[in-house]
Amino acid sequence: MSRVGKMPVSIPSGVDVVVKDDQISVKGAGGALSLTQNQLVTVKSEGGKLTFVPVDESREANAMSGTMRQLVNNMVVGVSKGFEKKLTLVGVGYKAQAQGAKLNLAVGYSHPVNVDMPAGISVATPAPTEIVIKGADRQRVGQIAAEIRAIRPPEPYKGKGIRYADEKITIKETKKK
């Protein structure tokens, strides 16, 4: 059996988890998330903990038990604490400005780039060269961060562009005569 799937998910106080036939719903201070339940995994709620047991001994059911456990754990952590991604802008004149649910970027193009944030995702710019994306859904926060990074990915010669705060860019050596 999957080692990740064996660990139960503990439900903190203030988080409400409802397990139905085909859906798992999690509500908390950070919002409400739901996930379609897989038929290869049975979910049991006992004493403030959720356990995930494969239906049979097949390889697919074993793998799905670990996957479902981690997805539900991400939902519980998301509605209680939330997830955030930090991006950094590197380059002369590169700056970002958050205005409500919009992000305005000046990243070396002849025009400003405006990015609309979907519902449930908030964006902040503590400094003109920093972007912080927050939300309850881990997958959506990561996807929005990747889309913003793709507007101007870091280039390998000077390192200019939008990068994750913890990302290391290896700078290439320039061409020699």
Mean confidence (pLDDT) of the chain: 93
The confidence band for 144, taking pLDDT boundaries of 50, 70 and 90, is very high
pLDDT value of position 104: 96
For the chain, domain boundaries: 3-80, 83-164
3-80 against 83-164: fold identical: yes
pLDDT value of position 55: 92
pLDDT value of position 150: 96
Q: Is the pLDDT of residue 2 over 70?
A: no
* pLDDT one-digit tens code per residue, 28-80: 998 999 999 999 999 998 888 999 999 998 999 999 999 999 999 999 999 99
- Please name the residues in contact with 81: beta carbons below 8 A apart, sequence gap of 6 or more: 30
* pLDDT one-digit tens code per residue, 98-143: 998 999 999 999 999 999 999 999 999 999 999 999 999 999 999 9
Q: Which CATH number fits domain 3-80: 3.90.930.12, 1.10.540.10, 3.40.47.10, 3.40.50.2000?
A: 3.90.930.12
**CATH 3.40.50.12640 holds for 83-164:** no
